[in-house]
Structure 1
């Protein structure tokens, strides 16, 4: 997956995670993109244990995996950082 694909997937997954998880989360589009990219890594790591597919392109499975990972990262951020 190229750099531009990670950026696009990160923006979409980060925006979905922020939309799905209630709370007042700051940051602009850059933090949303970073949340989505880190979420894609976390989602791929967790998905490997559970048997889901890895993040391998811009498709529905990768978007779902990255969004779940971004939700995990956002949950950890809200619980331990704030």
Structure 2
């Protein structure tokens, strides 16, 4: 049980950190939001995988799916909140 929770936290931290590094611009979110971004990204990655591959249901994915899902969530978050506008 504790090992599972620690695993989710580590997965969330790494996936969220990679997503923040890939999406251009500065993100002013702390470590807790980075972890939540990565964990939520895992579920979004599972949802996207089920749509495109026909997997059953809404489930978490591995590292690659988590990172892709976190990137998608971060881009959507930035668009909805109006953060990271491109200067011209």
TM-score by length of 2: 0.78
* Long gaps (5+) in structure 2: 83-88
Note if 1:67 corresponds to 2:56: no
- 2:42 paired residue number: 40
Matched residue count: 77
Which structure shows the higher helix fraction? 1
Q: Which runs of 4+ in 1 moved over 6 A?
A: none
Larger radius of gyration: 2
TM-score by length of 1: 0.83
* Long gaps (5+) in structure 1: 57-61
RMSD (Å) for aligned C-alpha atoms: 2.0
Distance of 2:26 and 2:66 partners within structure 1: 21
- 2:85 paired residue number: none
